[in-house]
Amino acid sequence: MSKLYTCIGEKAKNPYSILAGKVKIYTLEELCYCICDFTDLLDEQFLDAGIADFAENELGLTKLADALREMLHSRCLLHEFCDRILSYAEYPDQGIRKKIIDQIRECESLSVVERLIRQADAYHKEKEYYKAQKAYRNLLMMEEVGQDVKLTAHLYDKLGCVAAKMFHYETAAYCFEKSCRFSENEKVRKKYILCRRFTMPRATYMEWISQEEDVAQLFVEAEQAYEEADEQVRMQWDKNTADMEDIQEEFCRMVLE
């Protein structure tokens, strides 16, 4: 049986927004849930006196507000700030809470580039594709990323996957090819071939692939992946288990990842 949690404080009349306005918070429990659920997206901007004001003025939690203000005054770390909020609410269970705080602490120890990659990956995972796309592009513009060939190739691969999830196959193909220019990778090359498959009429595609003798085996593997995914998606379509966009995205996932 799941543990029941007693709600602490009042429900806000005026919500508090976090993560660039993406999420609106009305209760302490919702704030705790967001800390746990969006751990990889939290950064120093979360260390905001506005949370203390919200706790006091909207939730009626004066003691928590005073504690948070004192911590901010003493320049606390992000994981300490989050720990105080979660501990005050006694949410979630202590064991899970420790894992969450350890994860936030781990993020604090990462370099700026590593943290930005983790945030971009989190946007991708949450299907915030436009935000993920922007985050990966910003990373590729950073000087220290440009000096790392393998990292640049990795980020172009990630950017290609996001573009494919958005059904922008021309852009995805460009990104996959760009990734291979920095660091050749058979798996990424196969994604490139598949995206070209999506954007060309069958006859044009066959003519193009016949001129690419060095990737003949990859073509066979890509075509097999395409046909297998197509068959599974058609079965889903027949069963009416998802709408068209869900089916398209599932198709991309099966053939490109």
Task: Report which DSSP code applies to 39.
Answer: G
**For the domain 112-256, what is the CATH code?**
1.25.40
The tens digit of pLDDT for each residue in 193-237 reads 888 888 888 788 778 777 776 666 777 777 777 777 666 666 666
Which residue would you say has higher pLDDT here, 248 or 80? 80
Q: What is the tens place of the pLDDT at every residue in 147-194?
A: 999 999 999 999 999 998 888 989 999 999 999 999 999 889 888 888
Dihedral angle, C-alpha 117, 123, 126, 129, nearest 10 °: -120
Mean pLDDT score of the chain, rounded to an integer? 85
pTM score, two decimals?
A: 0.70
The domain segmentation of the chain, as residue ranges, is 16-108, 112-256
* Phi, psi of 23, rounded to the nearest 5 degrees: -125, 130
